[in-house]
Structure 1
Amino acid sequence: MSASLFPVFLVGLLGSVHCAGMCGGIVGALSLAPPRARGNGIVIRLRTVAAAPAGLQAASYNAGRIASYTSAGLLAGGLAQGASNLSALPALQGGAYVLANLLLAALGLHLMGAWSGIARLEHGGQLVWRHVRPLLARIGPPDTPGRMFAAGALWGWLPCAMVYSVLVTAMLSGSAVSGALVMLAFGLGTLPMMLALGLAGARLRGWLRLAAVRVACGATVLAFGLLGLARAAGSLPASWLQVLCVTPGMAP
């Protein structure tokens, strides 16, 4: 295995308080969507379909979302693997490793409400999202597990600074398979929160907006980034930090 997946999982778990703001409402809306759609100003009544249990709807949506993350990690890791014969790659790897941990530190500050500069990364993803978003209309109302999976797969490409920060680590993981596993671990880390949001809805989102919760989660993510930067600088031993730092095998 090229990368330590435990810290990536923890980043997803703790950083998922960010998901409450970006995707929590989406999950709730999809889970409660009525079995009809509106097109060209006319209400189109669809054939009656038995509504799936809320738990199955939430699980289907998140399975699609995590599948998108895994696919993105596969692409990112594959691109880096394909460029492995470049003579300048070691220097690029070192720089990207520092960048990955800087992004983690910035994400922690963002979750704490101390600095929102990392959110500017999301503007860069709008180009892709403009092509993906129209596909949602073609899925139809998310009244079956299959449609919920498809909706989740598309929403997985929603511009998100937290996802981008972990994608850098996926790129550094050493191979397409390792990159996919990095993003899978991240997606699984976000799963408990997203499943809970799909079932508990606004009540849980209100709790996650509490300053104490966001500061605690953000401070932990910030610590991951700072430990990684300290390791990159060689000021801390690598042996025990492997468990806590996002340290791809390709990194120095």
Structure 2
Amino acid sequence: MIEFSLLTALLAGLLGGVHCVGMCGGIVAAFSFRADGSTPPFRLHLAYNLGRVSSYTLFGALAGALGGSLKLAGFLPVQTLLYLLAQAVMILLGLYLAGFNRWVLVFERAGGALWERVKPLFQKLLPVRSLPQALLAGMAWGWLPCGLVYSVLVSALAAGSATSGAALMLAFGLGTLPNLLGMGLFARQIQPFMQRLWVRRAAGLAVAGFGVWGLLRLAYSAWSGA
């Protein structure tokens, strides 16, 4: 199911842009101006986002390694249980993006303490004046507590290995690129569209649909193997 999970993560990142625009809009705005007040070139925004995606990939590797260690420790049903949990969280995430619940904000509150430790480092990197500085700022940005990121991390936990977990979060991070990279360059044009109710509802229900489809695949696999 790894190919399906990678596609799901990629599309979750892409469709989750309705959340990214609201969650990261302030940070993107801070990145959009240099000390002299001019807008930084495309390569700086790309460096910010590559740094952010690299942090996501690291998180995925750690989560996948943890899930794999639980499996190797002899917890036989752990892979199936983690997969079920991942699909359930995906459904809740989709409903959150659509505006029907706020359950995934629990994840954001849980990560707040960690962000408070990273935030001073992040602030010291602003304003950004070079590509290495932009890359480091982007890596720090990746630690911002985000229910969308944490929800997908559950799927990385279920991936069963560091490599699979890293690949899944890399796919998710690449899915977020069009929205956040575009937000940095065309904020005024993109933000109003992404905040429309029908866009949020359609994107959220599509993400929830991935979770439902994952559960159906698991049920079919269990039924056909019985």
The alignment's TM-score, normalised by the length of structure 1, stands at 0.81
Contact preservation (8 Å) 2:17, 2:194: no
CA positional deviation for 1:202: 3.2
Matching of residues 186-225 of structure 1 within 5 Å:
186-225=172-211
CA distance in 2, matches of 1:237, 1:27: 47
Q: Which amino acid aligns with 2:52?
A: R
Asked if 1:152 is matched to 2:153, the reply is no
Backbone CA RMSD of aligned residues? 2.2
- Given that 1:20 and 1:205 are in contact with CA atoms closer than 8 Å, whether structure 2 keeps it comes out as yes
Instruction: Specify the code of the residue in structure 2 equivalent to 1:12.
Output: G
| Aligned counterpart for 1:80 among listed residues 67, 70, 75 | 67
Structure 2 counterpart of 1:29, one-letter code: A
Structure 1 position 237, deviation (Å): 7.9
Indicate yes or no: 2:13 matched with 1:27: no
Does the 8 Å contact 2:104/2:151 carry over to 1?
Answer: no
Deviations 1:37-75 (A, max 9, x none): xxxxxxxxxxxxxx7843112101100000000010111
Where does structure 2 lack aligned partners over 5 or more consecutive residues? none
Q: Deviations over 1:123-148 (max 9, x none)?
A: 01112112111111332421222222
The list of structure 1 runs, each at least 4 consecutive aligned residues, that deviate by more than 4 angstroms after superposition, is 235-238
* Matches for 1:41-120 after TM superposition, within 5 Å: 53-88=40-75, 90-120=76-106
Q: CA deviation at 1:192?
A: 0.7
Alignment correspondent of 1:121: 107
| Deviation at residue 14 of structure 1 after TM alignment | 0.7
Distance 1:208 1:93, change over 3 A: same
Is this contact kept in 1: 2:53–2:142, CA < 8 A? yes
Total equivalences in the alignment: 223
Q: 5+ unaligned residues in a row in structure 1: which ranges?
A: 37-50, 239-252
2:135 aligns to what SS in structure 1? helix
* 2:179 aligned with 1:178: no
Counterpart in 2 of 1:231?
217
Deviations 1:63-120 (A, max 9, x none): 00000000101111122223332222x3222221111111111111111111112112
CA contact (8 A) 1:65 1:155 kept: yes
Aligned-residue identity in percent: 42
Query: SS at the partner of 1:109?
Result: helix
Larger radius of gyration: 1
For the 8 Å contact 1:101–1:226, the answer to whether it is kept is yes
Distance in 2 of aligned mates of 1:140 and 1:211:
34
1:14 is matched with 15
